[in-house]
Amino acid sequence: MKTVDAYATPAAKAPFEKTQIERRDLNPEDVLIKIAFAGICHSDIHTGRGEWGETNYPLVPGHEIAGTVEEVGSGVQKYKVGDRVGVGCMVSSCGECENCKNDEEQFCLKGMVGTYGGMLDGKPTAGGYSTHIVVDENYVLGIPEGIELDQAAPLLCAGITLYSPLHHWGAGPGKKVAIVGMGGLGHMSVQIAHAMGAEVTVLSQTLSKEEDGKKFGADHYYATSDDSTFDDLAGSFDLIVNTVSASLPMTKYLSLLKTRGALVSVGAPEEPLEVPAFGLIGGAKIWAGSQIGGIKETQEMLDFCAEHDVAAQVETISADQIDEAWDRVVDSDVRYRFVIDTATI
Ligand code: NAP
Ligand code: ZN
């Protein structure tokens, strides 16, 4: 057992406290990772503040982890000491069900084990807001040369969460794709959809981030606070990805789809999303969801990002700034992902 420093929230809406946690002794297939950076995902906030229901406290969040291998178990095949690696939202799954066998461990029929807030071998899991983590090598990703670790960390959740639906729904040349919300997920989405060759439109609350959006590869940028946006863009898109952390009036957004177009929800607000049947029936619209991606697809996404020069734009913070950073994320005041420099823990 290794005792390591971490930051934990002791209760819903309570400030973070420095603490110490135990990391297990290495099993043969385990990798000990010295964490360099941990991204702050809005899901950390939904979970930590109890917006998605009950969780175990104290909670050490963090599922966007990038660092280097410090030690390997006797049976580890894929990684060696010094390798640059990442860990995303899951650290285990059954490995035997239909979904695990199809490389979709995120939909493990027995339930994947979350990097934090889950239970593994009878113990609660603790995430990346800490200095070290021990993870089975099958849930560890290789970070390609060419992506700095701080810019790579957010790819482990934000990157794969957008890569997977964009890939699945065929974003590419000739396709008009809209991204709703340009926060952590949204800014990855714009870059990835652009790199896939799609014509990309950002739908943000205001035009305040238009210059950045265009730099990330957006062809068009509209403010959703301006009602004329919905008239101007009616029936325009093959695909819309909704990354917003709050509930939106879905009928308005479905009206922006072409006939048989698809709107994919990845944002996971506390409040329900409501869709009157006629919002879907007219024009045979598709409303779908997507949740992160499997391990194989996450590696594919990392390699794709390295090849296309895609990475997160980050603001690095020290561990004592986590509370402030969480408030800024909730206020849509993030440019575009906070990452914790775990050396400051
Ligand atoms: P984020 O950085 O806070 O970005 C969310 C963006 O949504 C904001 O930057 C803002 O963009 C827009 N927004 C926020 N409140 C809004 C409101 N009331 N009305 C309209 N737009 C609003 O959050 P994130 O880390 O990208 O995560 C986004 C959501 O995805 C969260 O709910 C998170 O839990 C979820 N998530 C899902 C998965 C999955 O696997 N499906 C994975 C990770 C995260 P603008 O300023 O541009 O309007
Ligand atoms: Zn996340």
Q: How far apart are alpha carbons 92 and 110 in whole angstroms?
A: 11
Ligand nearest to the CA of 161: 1
Mean pLDDT of 236-253: 97
pLDDT cut 90: percent of the chain above it: 98
User: What are the structural domain ranges in the chain?
Assistant: 2-157+312-344, 159-289
Residue 317: count other Cβ atoms within 10 Å of its Cβ: 17
Residue 23: predicted pLDDT: 98
Task: Tell me: pLDDT of 181 over 90.
Answer: yes
Residue 231: count other Cβ atoms within 10 Å of its Cβ: 9
Task: Please provide the average confidence, as pLDDT, over all residues in the chain.
Answer: 97
Number of the ligand 1 atom closest to the C-alpha atom of 46: 34
pLDDT tens digits, 48-101:
999 999 899 999 999 999 999 999 999 999 999 999 999 999 999 999 999 999
Mean pLDDT of 267-280: 94
Ligand nearest to the CA of 51: 1
Domains 2-157+312-344 and 159-289 share a fold: no
Among 1.10.10.10, 3.90.180.10, 3.90.1660.10, 3.40.50.1110, what is the CATH number of 2-157+312-344? 3.90.180.10
CATH class of the region 159-289:
alpha beta
Number of the ligand 1 atom closest to the C-alpha atom of 332: 9
Task: Tell me: pLDDT of 251 over 90.
Answer: yes
Mean pLDDT of 277-295: 97
DSSP β-bridge partners for residue 288:
264
Terminal-residue alpha carbon distance, the chain: 19
Q: How far apart are alpha carbons 68 and 344 in whole angstroms?
A: 17
CA-wise closest residue to 38 among 200, 155, 118: 155
> 227, 245, 336, 338: which to mutate for ligand 1, most atoms within 8 A of CB?
245
Number of the ligand 1 atom closest to the C-alpha atom of 290: 41
Q: How far apart are alpha carbons 263 and 256 in whole angstroms?
A: 9
* Residue 203's pLDDT band (cuts 50, 70, 90): very high
The sign of the CA dihedral 38, 42, 47, 50 is positive
* Residue 1's pLDDT band (cuts 50, 70, 90): confident
Residue 49: predicted pLDDT: 97
Residue type (1 letter), 15: P
* Residue 232's pLDDT band (cuts 50, 70, 90): very high
pLDDT tens digits, 2-58:
999 999 999 999 999 999 999 999 999 999 999 999 999 999 999 999 999 989 999
Ligand nearest to the CA of 202: 1
Question: How far is the centre of ligand 1, averaged over its atoms, from the C-alpha of 199 (Å)?
Answer: 21
